[in-house]
């Protein structure tokens, strides 16, 4: 789940503001102001991090796991405060903010338990007759300082939770949260301090795009979540110092509904996963392809569900299903996609315009569009809002072809009662993850990699690579049988060369 952060984290200005106001987008009020850190301030954070990191790495997995075990309990004990902070700066509903807390708790537990296993020394088969008797070991060592640039849509799960495996690997981390939603990051900085993280091991760099650029410059590895456009800029800047990166970028995630699907489940899932967090989820359902024979029935079911959704600010559990639009420019994108679709012949089944809620705020009505095609922006560009365009297709083959007709390849889902058929379809969809009869929830399968194809990203989070990417590998070879001179050593002779040639031919001709 990622944001479409449009801010350029490498842009600089002659006179950057010293503070940025943080807004409650559901109420239209200012919560507080945060400082903008310049290059020198970020360099100071990096210097402190590099002093602290060796001791943190030397402490070992068990000591680091204890910190995250305490952090997991801290998140639960302080749950109301965490949920309120997330909700206020993002405009999420209570349940959407609570989901972030729940996933974070699971993330802490997973990495505390599995980090040592994923980073244990590995014995590798030499694989060469020249190395008979040799012992080959691959080991993992923390890169040093990891910079994480987080998005505004999930300031806990897609910002701090990317720091967790980096920290468990023994790195120090500087987290640069989005300037739109920095308060959750400041709260988890307090959490880490309360839970025993050494000073300097985890720090927050608040600020704007220029601050993000400075974090890229000081880091040994960069994890970025945001838009494809900004991801390219981050990668280009990191290339100047040969700093490796992992990028979780935009998505336009397709849902293929087969004629034999359970339409009630599919409709409920389309409404939920399309409108979850106000549609501001990179792995949300952004476009739907339905076989013609069940299209009208499916549309009727989805529309009936979406029409009943309540929208508004968080006033506690159960008070609203759809929250605010977090990022101001995103409202313009959502509106323009709907207007473009209508101008090209699409029909609005429900919603279609900016909404309102008591106390003001920034909202767009939950919207269902039909009569859409790939000539419309809503089917090709990431909307990142509470809209659900549904396209009629002749058959499954057309659905697969349309799903793959995209620059993005983050996630997708297939809906059919025939699970074997669903798996066959999933294998043909060009996306980093495909769910059959579900969507999004593969994110909490922490043991499996989650990453995008095409322009949806580079690298992955979760699974073994989700922590190994924050490490350098070292191969150690120990020769246990060591004569005074090996046959391949100098001097060369015709007899030795021919003998070695015949041996290779005998070994590999079979």
Yes or no: say if 184 and 160 are a contact pair by the CB < 8 Å rule: yes
pLDDT of residue 377: 98
Is 161 an active-site residue?
A: no
Alpha carbon distance 37, 174 (integer Å): 12
- Tell me what pLDDT residue 504 has: 87
User: Residue 141 catalytic?
Assistant: no
Angle between helices 292-307 and 263-275 (to 10 degrees): 50
CA–CA separation, 469 vs 305, rounded Å? 42
Angle at Cα 346 formed by Cα 344 and Cα 352, nearest 5°?
110
Tell me whether the omega of the peptide bond preceding residue 449 falls within 30 degrees of 0, making it cis. no
In 219-345, which residue ranges form alpha helices assigned H by DSSP? 228-239, 263-275, 292-307, 328-343
Tell me how far apart the alpha carbons of residues 353 and 366 are, in angstroms, rounded to a whole number. 9
C-alpha 480/C-alpha 132 separation (Å) is: 9
Contact between 203 and 174 under an 8 Å Cβ cutoff? The reply is yes
Q: Which long-range contacts (CB under 8 A, 24 or more apart) does 268-273 make?
A: 268/305, 269/413, 269/415, 269/438, 269/439, 270/298, 270/302, 270/388, 270/390, 271/302, 271/305, 271/306, 271/309, 271/388, 273/413, 273/439, 273/440
Question: How far is 179 from 206, CA to CA, in rounded Å?
Answer: 7
Contact in structure between 153 and 143 (CB atoms under 8 Å): no
Q: What's the rounded Cα separation, in Å, for the pair 413 and 403?
A: 10
Catalytic residue of the set 195, 282, 378, 471: 282
What are the φ/ψ torsions at residue 232 (nearest 5 degrees)? -65, -40
Sheet containing 411-415, strands listed edge to edge, beginning at the edge strand earlier in sequence: 347-350, 367-370, 387-393, 287-291, 254-257, 411-415, 433-436
Distance CA 451, CA 103 (A): 17
Looking at the DSSP bridge assignments, the partners of residue 5 are none
Residue with structure tokens 């308060």?
Answer: 183
Predicted pLDDT at 3: 41
Catalytic-labelled residue, pool 5, 100, 248, 349: 248
Question: What pLDDT sits at residue 481?
Answer: 83
What's the distance, CA 163 to chain centroid?
12
pLDDT recorded at residue 358: 66
Say if CB 96 and CB 321 are below 8 A apart: no
pLDDT at residue 41, as a whole number: 97
Which residues lie below 8 Å from residue 99, measured CB to CB, with a gap of 6+? none
Q: Residue 405: which of 477, 351, 454 has the closest Cα?
A: 454
For the chain, residues with pLDDT lower than 50 are 1-7, 9-14, 16
Tokens of 331: 């409202």
Q: Which domains does the chain have, with CATH numbers?
A: 19-250+461-472 (3.40.605.10), 254-445 (3.40.309.10)
In 3-state terms, what secondary structure has residue 286?
coil
DSSP 56-101: HHHH-HHHHHHHHHHHHHHHHHTHHHHHHHHHHHH---HHHHHHHH
- The whole-number pLDDT of residue 128 equals 84
274 in Cβ contact with 285 (< 8 Å) = yes
Distance in angstroms (rounded) separating the CA atoms of residues 451 and 449 = 6
d(CA 156, CA 189): 11
């Amino acid at each position: 789940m990622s944001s479409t952060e449009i801010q350029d984290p490498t842009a600089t200005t002659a006179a950057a503001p010293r503070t940025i106001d943080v807004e409650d987008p559901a109420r239209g009020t200012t919560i507080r102001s945060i400082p903008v850190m310049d290059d020198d301030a970020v360099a100071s954070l990096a210097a402190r991090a590099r002093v602290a990191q060796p001791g943190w790495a030397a402490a070992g997995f068990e000591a680091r796991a204890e910190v995250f075990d305490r952090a997991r309990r801290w998140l639960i004990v302080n749950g109301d405060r965490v949920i309120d902070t997330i909700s206020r700066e993002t405009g999420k509903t209570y349940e959407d903010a609570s989901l972030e807390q729940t996933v974070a708790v699971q993330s802490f537990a997973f990495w505390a338990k599995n980090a040592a296993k994923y980073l244990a020394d590995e014995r590798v088969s030499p694989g060469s007759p020249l190395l008979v008797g040799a012992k080959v070991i691959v080991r993992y060592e923390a890169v040093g300082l990891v910079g994480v640039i987080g998005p505004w849509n999930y300031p806990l799960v897609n910002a701090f939770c990317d720091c967790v495996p980096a920290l468990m690997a023994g790195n120090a981390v500087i987290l640069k949260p989005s300037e739109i939603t920095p308060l959750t990051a400041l709260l988890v900085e307090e959490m880490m301090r309360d839970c025993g993280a050494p000073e300097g091991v985890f720090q927050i760099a608040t600020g704007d795009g220029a601050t993000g650029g400075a974090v890229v410059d000081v880091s040994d590895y960069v994890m970025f979540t945001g838009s494809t456009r900004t991801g390219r800029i981050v990668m280009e800047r990191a290339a100047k110092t040969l700093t490796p990166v992992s990028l979780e970028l935009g998505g336009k995630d397709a849902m293929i509904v087969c004629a034999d699907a359970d339409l009630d489940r599919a409709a409920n899932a389309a409404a939920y996963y399309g409108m979850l967090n106000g549609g501001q989820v990179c792995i949300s359902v952004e476009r739907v392809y339905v076989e013609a024979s069940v299209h009208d029935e499916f549309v009727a079911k989805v529309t009936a569900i979406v029409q009943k959704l309540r929208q508004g600010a968080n006033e506690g559990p159960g008070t609203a299903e759809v929250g605010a639009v977090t990022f101001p420019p995103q409202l313009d994108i959502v509106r323009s996609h709907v207007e473009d679709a209508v101008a090209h012949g699409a029909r609005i089944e429900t919603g279609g315009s900016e909404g309102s809620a008591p106390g003001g705020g920034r909202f767009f009505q939950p919207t269902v569009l039909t009569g859409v095609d790939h000539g419309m922006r809503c089917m090709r560009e990431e909307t990142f809002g509470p809209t659900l365009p549904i396209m009629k297709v002749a058959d499954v083959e057309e659905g697969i072809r349309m799903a793959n007709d995209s620059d993005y390849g983050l996630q997708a889902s297939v809906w059919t009662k025939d699970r074997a058929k669903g798996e066959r379809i999933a294998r043909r969809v060009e996306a980093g993850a495909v769910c059959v009869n579900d969507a999004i929830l593969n994110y909490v399968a922490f043991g499996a990699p989650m990453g995008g194809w095409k322009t949806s990203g580079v690298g992955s989070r979760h699974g073994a690579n989700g922590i190994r990417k924050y490490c350098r590998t070292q191969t150690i070879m120990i020769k246990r049988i060591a004569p005074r001179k090996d046959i391949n050593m100098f001097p060369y002779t015709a007899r030795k060369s021919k003998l070695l040639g015949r041996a290779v031919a005998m070994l590999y001709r079979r």
